[in-house]
Amino acid sequence: MKIKKDDNVIVISGKDKGKTGKVIRAFPALNRVVVAGVNIKKAHQSPRKGGQKGQIIDKTMPVHVSNVMIVDPKTNKASRIGLKMEGGKKVRVSKKSGMTV
């Protein structure tokens, strides 16, 4: 999986198509990522303490990694990712502009 935590991504398919956000959490074993402000579901929360009321909260759910693409830092558009060796280290490179991500 080439998308990591704290990457800026754009959603390319689904109900949130076109939205951008930061990756909050990545699940490489499941091929899913949690993106801030994308795929929000309503969750019913039961009361925690004695006198407290239950409530409905907005919860950000994971999306499949194939539905998001990295935002190119130079053009601010969706771009694919490649790997390149720089000084004996692998770095991720944007296919569109050639800049490191």
Q: Annotate 29-43 with DSSP letters as a single string.
A: TTTEEEETTSSEEEE
Q: What does the alpha-carbon distance between residue 70 and residue 73 come to, in Å, rounded to a whole number?
A: 9
Q: In this structure, are residues 38 and 3 in contact, taking their beta carbons and an 8 Å threshold?
A: no
Average pLDDT, rounded, for the chain: 93
Beta-carbon contacts of 86 under 8 Å, excluding residues fewer than 6 positions away, are 100
Domains plus CATH for the chain? 8-73 (2.30.30.30)
pLDDT at residue 101 tops 90: no
Model confidence band, residue 43 (pLDDT cutoffs 50, 70, 90)? very high
Q: Which two tokens stand for residue 51?
A: 């006198």
Beta-carbon contacts of 19 under 8 Å, excluding residues fewer than 6 positions away, are 10, 11, 35, 37, 38
For the entire predicted model, the pTM comes to 0.84
Model confidence band, residue 49 (pLDDT cutoffs 50, 70, 90)? confident
